[in-house]
Structure 1
C-alpha cells in the first residue's frame, strides 16, 4: 500500500482517517468530527496535514474543520452539490471527478441515500474506499434525505469495487449492525464468526473498521438484498432488490 492509514476515534462513536504518503510528506484527513484528537495524532507523528476530504455535511463529520484548517492551513475538498452546507471548499468536486494523492488517483463516487450530496472517495491503487455514512461495517446509514432506491444504487456501486478493498466508514456501529444481521440470517456461519470477532475486538478496545469489502459481501444484509436468502428472510421472494433493501432498512430502523 503506498499510504499509511490511521483510524482515529472521535466524539462518542465517530471515526476520522489520516492517510500519509510514504514517498512524500503529503497527509490527507477524511472527515473531521472534532479537532483535538486529529491534531494530537498529527503532532505525535510529526505530520503536516495538507488536505481534508469531506464525505457529507452532517456536523459530526465536519465540525472540526475550522479549527484544523486554522492550525494547519489544509485545503478542504467536498461535494460541489453540498458546497452551501459544508465548510468553505478549496476544491468542489462532482461524482466522476478524480484527483491525485500519494501517486495514486482518488475517484469521487456518488453515494446518496444517507444525505443527497453524500460522496465517497475511492483509492483503487491503495485498496481503500472512504464511505462515510453510506456503506458501513455490517450495515448502512439511515436514510435521512435520500430514498431507498438511491441508497441501493450507492451500495451496488460500492459492492462492485475489488473485494479486497478496505471499507473505511464513519462510525463504530458494527456490533449493533451485526446483531440485526444475525436476526435476519441466523444460519449464516460467516456472519456468526464475524460477530464473535467484532465482540472480541470491542472487548480489547480496538476499532472494528476498516472492514474488508469481501466480508461485507458475505455478511452485510444491506449488500445482499438481491440474494434469494435475504428475499426469503423478509418474505419477499419475488420482489426487486431495491424493494427488499427498503424492507431491510425499515426493519433495522425498528430493531
Structure 2
C-alpha cells in the first residue's frame, strides 16, 4: 500500500540524509534527524510547507545539529528519546517504548532500539508501512556499537525483521556501497546480495541514492539482520569496524 505521505531526501554533511515528511491531509510537515538547518528550511520554503515538528532518533550532533535553528525559525515541536534528554536540550516531548507520536492523523509508534546509543529510538508508522531507524539499521549494515552491546543490536534487528516485509526503511546515511562490499566478504555465496550489489554500484556511479530500503531486502541481503546469534553479529561488527 503506497503511503499518503510525501517524503523528501535532503543530503547533508558528507553522507547524512535528513528526511522532510509532509502530510497533505493535515498540511503538517516534520523533519527526521536534522543535522543542519539551512537546506531543510530552504526545501520546506520552496515547497510551501510549514514545519511543525522534528523527530529525533538519538542524540548525536549529526542528527540534532539543526534542531535549534529550525525550531527558532518555525516554532516547531521537537520530539526525541527520553533516555537522552540530557544530551538533546532542544527537546519538547520525551518519548519511550510504546509511546505514540502523530503527524496529522498518522500515528507512529516509538520503538526503543538501543546499541548505537544507549537511548536510540525508531519511529514505526504502521498505516504507511514506514520506519525511521536513524543509525540502527542501514542498507546491508547496522550502526556501530558506541554505547551498547551486540546482544542489544541483534535483538533490535530481529525485532525490525518482524515488521511487514514491504515496510520501507528510512535510515540516516548513505553507507550502502561500503556495507555491501563488507557483506560480500561474510556471505560471498548469497546470490541476492550479489545481484543487489550490482544494482547499488550502478546507482552510486550515477550519483543516485540507495535508500530507502525495505525490510524484505534487508532480510535477504543484510548479514547483520541475518546473523544467527549475538556472537556472530559481534564478530562481524568488529570486522566491519576494521574493514
Normalising TM by the smaller chain, what interval?
Answer: over 0.9
Whether the 8 Å CA contact 2:56–2:78 is kept in 1: the answer is: yes
- Residues in 1 aligned to 2:89 and 2:184: alpha-carbon distance in whole angstroms: 39
Q: C-alpha displacement at 1:154, in angstroms?
A: 1.1
> Out of 209, 215, 218, which is 2:217 matched to?
215
Q: C-alpha displacement at 1:100, in angstroms?
A: 2.3
Tell me the alpha carbon deviations over residues 90-146 of structure 1, each in whole angstroms, 9 at most, x when there is no partner.
111111111222422200001111000100000111111000000111100000010
Counterpart position of 1:168: 170
Gaps of 5+ in 2: none
What is the TM-score of this pair, normalised by structure 2? 0.97
Counterpart position of 1:242: 230
What is the TM-score of this pair, normalised by structure 1? 0.92
Counterpart position of 1:134: 136
- Residues in 1 aligned to 2:176 and 2:55: alpha-carbon distance in whole angstroms: 23
Tell me the alpha carbon deviations over residues 185-214 of structure 1, each in whole angstroms, 9 at most, x when there is no partner.
112111111111111111222111110111
Taking a change above 3 Å as real, the CA distance of residues 204 and 90 of structure 1, as seen in their structure-2 partners, is same
- Residues in 2 aligned to 1:251 and 1:12: alpha-carbon distance in whole angstroms: 23
Counterpart position of 1:32: 34
Counterpart position of 2:153: 151
RMSD: 1.0
Counterpart position of 2:19: 17
Do structure 1's residue 65 and structure 2's residue 53 form an aligned pair?
A: no
Tell me the alpha carbon deviations over residues 135-192 of structure 1, each in whole angstroms, 9 at most, x when there is no partner.
1111000000101111111111111111111110010100000000011111211111
**Superposed counterparts of 1:111-130, under 5 Å:** 111-130=113-132
Aligned length: 241
Whether the 8 Å CA contact 1:62–1:87 is kept in 2: the answer is: no
Q: Secondary structure at the match of 2:144?
A: coil
Gaps of 5+ in 1: 227-240
- Residues in 2 aligned to 1:184 and 1:152: alpha-carbon distance in whole angstroms: 17
